[in-house]
Structure 1
Amino acid sequence: MTTPLRNRITRLIAAFATVFAIALPSATLGADTQFDKMRAKIAAFVADKMEKLGGSRIVYKVDTDGLRAAAVTDLRDDVYKTLREGRIAFSGLAIRDGGVDVKIADAKGREQLTRKLGSAAEGLPAHAFTVTDGGDGLIRLAPTDAASAERLRDLVEDSVAMIEQRLKDAGVKLASVQVDGPDRIRIFLPGVMEAEHVTAIFARKVKVGFRLIDLSMSAEQAQSGAPPAGTEVLLGFKDRLPYLVARDSALEGDDISYAGPGFTSDTKEPIASFRFNGRGTRRFAHITAENVGKPFAIVLDDKVISAPVIREPITGGSGQIAGNFTLEEANSVAMLLRAGSLPGRLGLVEQQVVQPATKP
């Protein structure tokens, strides 16, 4: 069973368990059969409740044009970063007609660029790209159709996870979140007759920030007295310990292009890994270079997830977040990192209140 499918089935089991208990399908059934049967049972149960109780039906659509534009912008930033780091002479770097154009007179420079970009995208299907020779040193790079489809699937999957988590946080016990086609998500909420209150939950943006930690006084002193100007005390995600951090983020989560769970290579401890786009990579390199030896806080929704010390400038554009996580917690942190800009990628298509069926 693939990990994404396992995650979907796990969420379906959890969602179904909130309404009534079921027996899990036989282990001899295929993963697809399990998923389809669970989805059908949940849909049928919720449809029955919608008919009896009435409720809200909400439909969201992913902004596919914005998603592709963001992918092309990320590719342009990666091209620029690779050219600068490799000291490759170039001109005319620009986004044009859904791709990235750049002119490199030296054939070795063109080969070096495509090789390094290809190596960075290896193992990341959503970052695959094509290279077209335009002649006279001009090359054109563009995300492949398969990469665009992969990004769309990832975004829809993340959106479903975000919607389910926020419904759970809001205390909604009975709901069904269903993928409808490649880019739409339908939400059924039996008994909920004020749909606008639910859509307001999804409109809230997850706040992801990288903030410097203030060492001018202890967090405990700041709690009992007055914290320095421009700072505030936040609590840790797991340890609930206080941290004195800058109010303003040195870097926002909008520049995170990838995040996922993983394990450390030595202790096999669950972690959340992340990667910045080109703009975020440059900013993160600058921040870490200026603050070597100092701690900084990775903050999600005003909770400190991790507070590592910057050992050296981080120029590669990627990092890891460790915090004595379980694998489930590491996956949740990664999902929240990805979800920072999700509300801006979802458009409300339909918001309808369904009245209960009239009794005969």
Structure 2
Amino acid sequence: MTDTPLWKSIVVWGLVALSLLYALPNAFYDRVERHNDAVAAMEKADGSATPEQVADRALWPDWLPSSIVPLGLDLRGGAHLLAEVKVADVYAARIDGMWPEVRDALRDVRDQVGNVRRQPSPEGVLRVAISNPEGIQVALEKVRALATPVVSLTGMGSSDIEVSLDNGEIVVQLSPAERVATDQRTVQQSLEIIRRRVDEVGTREPTIQRQGEDRILIQVPGIGSAAELKSLIGTTAKLGFHPVTRVTGDAGTKPGAREELLPAMDQPNTYYIVEKTPVVTGEELTNAQPAFDQNGRPAVEFQFDATGARKFGDYTASNIGKPFAIVLDQQVISAPTIQSHIPGGRGIITGQFTVEESTELAVLLRAGALPAEMTFLEERTIGPELGADSIRSGQMAAVVGAGLVSVYMIASYGLFGTFTIIALAINIAMMFAIQSVIGATLTLPGIAGIVLTMGMAVDANVLIYERMREELRDGKSPLVAIHEGYDKALSAITDSNVTAMLTAIIMFFVGSGPVRGFAVTTTIGIVTSMFTAVYVTRAIISLYMGLRRPKTIIV
């Protein structure tokens, strides 16, 4: 008999079986990957498939788990870029775009301010002079009235511009809060554009993330070269403002001549039939910013250039009460109704938005072009052969490490060492199962984390077995020695694993790139190794003791 409750044994062996099941697809990586690609392509094509896709789908049963561990750039090969976004360019563009507004605002009080002239100034600063110095306070009030609230969670209550007086001239520049919000929106917009461009070519598991204040890390496995990736990022998204003919819920509706059927981005089973020829295109959109409407609700303001403003103004004047569709990459992201004539090329989109949703919509509207120039600080291409070599090297390191650990444990602890090696194999399977389910990318440093986990896992069993030896030397029975060994070693095992996990968590949040990959794998390994070292080995020993009932044990 053993002291392990039946329910606990069932839970332990159930988790082991589940882990082996979810780790299984990684043993047939190429077949499962082709199966998953075929399933994704068929779903995207609404069920239709080529004979090759049908054959690929049949490579793996649909009823089995099919999640596999994504391979990082260093294991699959691909392109790596580190780009710096020139956020200062956006400040200059914003301030340059304000000159027509300032000029028009002062034109209304021309009898008090006289002639209005733009003066030379550094980029990002607008200096305006008036010919009548006595009207300077009136001019300041008119320009300050152009300020709008900063739309961000950190800039609430601030205005987007600062208006001051310097040597008799009006100086306009972005406020510090607006600069921070602009930086956030600029990098977010760049991320959105890059992600859309990369996703269109169907690459697997790209890494596109912000680094620091104004840098973006782009890693795309499976792509030919860094030059190819740079060309892909430079592609411009297709944005258009189209007249809406009608709305339907039937995807099979046939559009008329010079019309097309487009799905709504965030509304399932909603389709818009729009005219193929847009009224204006994204090339004529100069800006789109989150704002507030006259009722203080989040909205989105947009601005066209002179040509787009004229075309949009003419269209809205003759189509009041009709909807028009904002189409991005063949999807309708919004379809507002024209409430009135919109002259000057500036309009506002209202709706039931939150601040975050209005910001996101503004990003989508601006996703037709990168908001600022990007400088590529790092370019690196990793060939698939090098990635395959990395996998082989990692496998060799893991095999050698596992072999040496196995020899040591069996030589030191005999049969109980063998139990530890069985639990170690289960531990590695659990790591792959968890990484497969959560989609954590495996990198070369991640393989190092797996190898390190092997030592950490057996280290816990060394503590347990040494404690058992002490209990046996004190004359305790085998069952009591096993019970005491696990119970008294648990605190030391917990302490060492908790401190190791805290270190891994710190590495994840402070580090980047390879350091994060190592931290993720190590964190998962700490959890699984503690489970297998404490519970799985105990379940194996309990099973052995229940079946063989030995009078003595050798540890």
TM normalised by structure 2 equals: 0.44
Following superposition, the deviation at residue 123 of structure 1 comes to: 4.7
1:154 pairs with one of 181, 185, 188: 185
Following superposition, the deviation at residue 73 of structure 1 comes to: 1.3
1:312 pairs with one of 337, 340, 343: 340
**Relative to 1, partners in 2 of residues 1:211 and 1:52: Cα closer, same or farther, differing over 3 Å?**
closer
Give, in whole Å, the separation in 2 of the partners of 1:201 and 1:127: 37
Following superposition, the deviation at residue 70 of structure 1 comes to: 0.8
Q: Does 2:117 match 1:92? A: yes
Cα-to-partner distance string for 1:261-308 (whole Å, 9 max, x where unaligned) = x99989x9xxx8321348579655565335434443322223344444
Aligned counterpart, 1:33: none
1:341 pairs with one of 362, 369, 377: 369
More helix by share: 2
Give, in whole Å, the separation in 2 of the partners of 1:226 and 1:277: 31
Q: Does 2:74 match 1:73? A: no
Bigger Rg over Cα: 2
Indicate if the aligned counterparts of 1:60 and 1:350 stay in contact, CA closer than 8 A: yes
Give, in whole Å, the separation in 1 of the partners of 2:354 and 2:127: 44
Relative to structure 2, which stretch is displaced further, 275-284 or 286-295?
A: 275-284
Aligned counterpart, 2:301: 275
Q: Gaps (5+ residues) in structure 2?
A: 1-25, 27-68, 247-252, 397-555
Indicate if the aligned counterparts of 1:61 and 1:183 stay in contact, CA closer than 8 A: yes
Superposition map of 1:167-178 within 5 A: 167-178=198-209
Following superposition, the deviation at residue 165 of structure 1 comes to: 4.0
Aligned counterpart, 1:112: 141
Aligned counterpart, 1:23: none
**Relative to 1, partners in 2 of residues 1:110 and 1:286: Cα closer, same or farther, differing over 3 Å?**
farther
Matched residue SS, 1:179: strand
Aligned counterpart, 1:82: 105
Cα-to-partner distance string for 1:61-113 (whole Å, 9 max, x where unaligned) = 21334222212212323323433466675410356222112223313422322
Superposition map of 1:1-360 within 5 A: 49-84=72-107, 89-94=114-119, 96-98=121-123, 99-104=125-130, 105=132, 106-118=135-147, 120-123=148-151, 125=155, 128-136=160-168, 138-212=169-243, 226-227=257-258, 232-237=259-264, 238=267, 239-249=270-280, 252=283, 254-259=285-290, 273-277=299-303, 283=310, 287-314=315-342, 317-320=346-349, 333-342=361-370, 345-354=373-382, 355-356=386-387, 359=393
**Relative to 1, partners in 2 of residues 1:293 and 1:102: Cα closer, same or farther, differing over 3 Å?**
same
Q: Gaps (5+ residues) in structure 1?
A: 1-19, 21-44, 216-221
Following superposition, the deviation at residue 155 of structure 1 comes to: 1.0
Relative to structure 2, which stretch is displaced further, 176-185 or 286-295?
A: 286-295
Indicate if the aligned counterparts of 1:253 and 1:337 stay in contact, CA closer than 8 A: no
Aligned counterpart, 2:472: none
Matched residue SS, 2:366: helix
**Relative to 1, partners in 2 of residues 1:209 and 1:190: Cα closer, same or farther, differing over 3 Å?**
closer
Give, in whole Å, the separation in 2 of the partners of 1:86 and 1:353: 60
**Relative to 1, partners in 2 of residues 1:321 and 1:123: Cα closer, same or farther, differing over 3 Å?**
closer
Indicate if the aligned counterparts of 2:126 and 2:173 stay in contact, CA closer than 8 A: yes
Q: Structure with the greater relative contact order (CA < 8 A, sep ≥ 6): 1 or 2?
A: 1
Give, in whole Å, the separation in 2 of the partners of 1:282 and 1:86: 25
Give, in whole Å, the separation in 2 of the partners of 1:130 and 1:326: 26
Indicate if the aligned counterparts of 2:238 and 2:282 stay in contact, CA closer than 8 A: no
Give, in whole Å, the separation in 2 of the partners of 1:179 and 1:52: 22
Read off the aligned partner of 1:132 and give its amino acid letter. Answer: S
Give, in whole Å, the separation in 2 of the partners of 1:278 and 1:341: 14
Cα-to-partner distance string for 1:115-167 (whole Å, 9 max, x where unaligned) = 3023x24556597333332334x212122455334322321122223333443
State the superposition RMSD in angstroms: 4.3
TM normalised by structure 1 equals: 0.64
More strand by share: 1
Give, in whole Å, the separation in 2 of the partners of 1:185 and 1:134: 38
Matched residue SS, 1:204: coil
Matched residue SS, 1:353: strand
**Relative to 1, partners in 2 of residues 1:85 and 1:257: Cα closer, same or farther, differing over 3 Å?**
farther
Matched residue SS, 2:285: helix
Matched residue SS, 2:146: helix
